[in-house]
Amino acid sequence: MDNCIFCMIAGHTLDARVVYEDDLVLAFDDITPQAPVHTLIIPKCHYADMSDNVPPAVMTALFTAVPKVAALKGVDTTGYRVIVNNGRDASQSVAHLHVHLLGGRSMSHGMVSFG
Ligand code: AMP
Protein backbone atom coordinates (compact mmCIF):
# COMPACT_ATOMS: atom_id res chain seq x y z
CA MET A 1 0.00 0.00 0.00
CA ASP A 2 1.32 3.45 -0.95
CA ASN A 3 2.59 5.65 1.88
CA CYS A 4 2.57 2.85 4.44
CA ILE A 5 5.95 2.76 6.19
CA PHE A 6 5.55 -0.84 7.25
CA CYS A 7 4.73 -1.86 3.66
CA MET A 8 7.96 -0.11 2.66
CA ILE A 9 9.90 -2.03 5.30
CA ALA A 10 8.22 -5.28 4.20
CA GLY A 11 9.22 -4.48 0.62
CA HIS A 12 12.79 -3.64 1.68
CA THR A 13 12.50 -0.11 0.28
CA LEU A 14 12.85 1.43 3.76
CA ASP A 15 15.68 0.37 6.06
CA ALA A 16 15.00 -1.51 9.25
CA ARG A 17 16.91 -3.86 11.53
CA VAL A 18 15.34 -7.07 10.30
CA VAL A 19 15.35 -9.91 12.81
CA TYR A 20 13.28 -12.56 11.08
CA GLU A 21 11.53 -13.09 7.77
CA ASP A 22 9.46 -15.81 6.15
CA ASP A 23 6.98 -15.94 3.29
CA LEU A 24 4.22 -14.15 5.19
CA VAL A 25 5.77 -12.06 7.94
CA LEU A 26 8.73 -9.82 8.75
CA ALA A 27 10.13 -8.87 12.16
CA PHE A 28 12.27 -5.80 12.80
CA ASP A 29 13.42 -3.78 15.78
CA ASP A 30 11.24 -0.87 16.86
CA ILE A 31 12.80 2.51 16.10
CA THR A 32 11.77 3.83 19.54
CA PRO A 33 12.36 0.86 21.83
CA GLN A 34 10.43 0.73 25.09
CA ALA A 35 12.56 -2.12 26.43
CA PRO A 36 16.00 -3.60 25.70
CA VAL A 37 14.23 -5.92 23.27
CA HIS A 38 11.39 -4.30 21.31
CA THR A 39 10.67 -5.98 18.01
CA LEU A 40 7.66 -5.60 15.73
CA ILE A 41 6.23 -8.50 13.76
CA ILE A 42 4.15 -7.56 10.71
CA PRO A 43 2.37 -9.34 7.89
CA LYS A 44 4.08 -8.60 4.58
CA CYS A 45 0.71 -7.79 3.01
CA HIS A 46 -1.18 -4.75 4.21
CA TYR A 47 -3.92 -5.20 6.79
CA ALA A 48 -4.81 -2.11 8.79
CA ASP A 49 -5.51 -4.03 11.97
CA MET A 50 -6.82 -7.34 13.28
CA SER A 51 -10.35 -6.50 12.12
CA ASP A 52 -9.27 -6.05 8.49
CA ASN A 53 -10.25 -9.54 7.28
CA VAL A 54 -6.83 -11.00 8.02
CA PRO A 55 -6.63 -14.52 6.55
CA PRO A 56 -6.20 -17.25 9.18
CA ALA A 57 -2.90 -18.30 7.61
CA VAL A 58 -1.50 -14.81 8.09
CA MET A 59 -2.76 -14.61 11.67
CA THR A 60 -1.16 -17.99 12.34
CA ALA A 61 2.11 -16.91 10.76
CA LEU A 62 2.21 -13.73 12.86
CA PHE A 63 1.81 -15.54 16.15
CA THR A 64 3.93 -18.52 15.14
CA ALA A 65 6.75 -16.06 14.56
CA VAL A 66 6.51 -14.67 18.10
CA PRO A 67 8.42 -17.46 19.92
CA LYS A 68 10.91 -17.68 17.06
CA VAL A 69 11.68 -13.97 17.34
CA ALA A 70 11.84 -14.25 21.14
CA ALA A 71 14.47 -16.97 20.80
CA LEU A 72 16.44 -14.99 18.21
CA LYS A 73 16.44 -11.98 20.56
CA GLY A 74 17.41 -14.11 23.55
CA VAL A 75 14.33 -13.54 25.70
CA ASP A 76 12.59 -16.88 25.25
CA THR A 77 13.73 -18.13 28.65
CA THR A 78 13.40 -14.88 30.60
CA GLY A 79 9.93 -13.96 29.33
CA TYR A 80 8.47 -11.27 27.17
CA ARG A 81 5.32 -9.25 26.62
CA VAL A 82 3.24 -9.40 23.43
CA ILE A 83 1.00 -6.43 22.61
CA VAL A 84 -1.23 -5.47 19.71
CA ASN A 85 -2.48 -1.88 19.78
CA ASN A 86 -5.55 -2.27 17.63
CA GLY A 87 -7.37 0.76 16.34
CA ARG A 88 -8.05 4.25 17.62
CA ASP A 89 -8.95 3.53 21.22
CA ALA A 90 -5.79 1.46 21.62
CA SER A 91 -3.69 4.35 20.25
CA GLN A 92 -2.49 2.39 17.24
CA SER A 93 -0.21 4.85 15.46
CA VAL A 94 0.81 2.89 12.36
CA ALA A 95 -2.16 1.53 10.40
CA HIS A 96 -0.47 -1.71 9.36
CA LEU A 97 -1.16 -4.62 11.70
CA HIS A 98 1.81 -5.29 13.97
CA VAL A 99 2.63 -7.29 17.06
CA HIS A 100 4.98 -5.75 19.63
CA LEU A 101 7.36 -8.15 21.37
CA LEU A 102 9.02 -6.58 24.42
CA GLY A 103 11.55 -8.08 26.78
CA GLY A 104 14.92 -7.81 28.44
CA ARG A 105 13.63 -6.08 31.54
CA SER A 106 11.05 -6.67 34.22
CA MET A 107 7.67 -5.15 33.38
CA SER A 108 4.83 -4.27 35.70
CA HIS A 109 1.69 -6.35 35.73
CA GLY A 110 -0.42 -3.75 33.90
CA MET A 111 -2.18 -5.54 31.08
CA VAL A 112 -2.29 -2.83 28.49
CA SER A 113 0.88 -0.75 28.64
CA PHE A 114 4.49 -1.10 27.67
CA GLY A 115 5.39 -0.06 31.23
P1 AMP B 1 1.64 1.43 17.58
O2 AMP B 1 1.59 2.67 18.40
O3 AMP B 1 1.19 0.21 18.29
O4 AMP B 1 0.97 1.63 16.24
O5 AMP B 1 3.18 1.17 17.31
C6 AMP B 1 3.86 1.65 16.21
C7 AMP B 1 5.32 1.42 16.49
O8 AMP B 1 6.03 1.58 15.28
C9 AMP B 1 5.92 2.39 17.50
O10 AMP B 1 6.44 1.66 18.60
C11 AMP B 1 7.02 3.09 16.69
O12 AMP B 1 8.18 3.36 17.45
C13 AMP B 1 7.30 2.08 15.59
N14 AMP B 1 7.84 2.61 14.36
C15 AMP B 1 7.38 3.67 13.64
N16 AMP B 1 8.14 3.85 12.54
C17 AMP B 1 9.10 2.90 12.56
C18 AMP B 1 10.19 2.57 11.70
N19 AMP B 1 10.44 3.25 10.58
N20 AMP B 1 10.97 1.52 12.05
C21 AMP B 1 10.74 0.83 13.17
N22 AMP B 1 9.72 1.07 14.02
C23 AMP B 1 8.91 2.11 13.72
> What per-residue confidence (pLDDT) applies to 42?
98
Whole-number Å distance, alpha carbon 22 to ligand 1 midpoint, is 20
Q: Is 32 in the pocket of ligand 1 (CB under 6 A)?
A: yes
Q: Does any domain span residue 115? A: no
Q: Is 86 in the pocket of ligand 1 (CB under 6 A)?
A: no
The number of folded domains in the chain is: 1
* Residue 115 pLDDT exceeds 60: no
Residue 2 confidence class, pLDDT cut points 50, 70, 90: confident
> What per-residue confidence (pLDDT) applies to 93?
96
Domain that holds residue 51: 5-103
Q: Does any domain span residue 114? A: no
> What per-residue confidence (pLDDT) applies to 111?
53
> What per-residue confidence (pLDDT) applies to 113?
61
Burial pattern 34-71, b for ≥16 Cβ within 10 A else e, equals: bbebbbbbbbbebbbbeeeebeeebeebbeebbebbbe
CA–CA distance, 112 with 94 (Å, rounded to integer)? 17
The CATH code of the domain that includes 68 is 3.30.428.10
Name which residue sits closest to atom 15 of ligand 1, judged by CA. 31
Give the active site residues: 98
What digits encode the pLDDT tens for the residues 18-75? 999 999 999 999 999 999 999 999 999 999 999 999 999 999 999 999 999 999 999 9
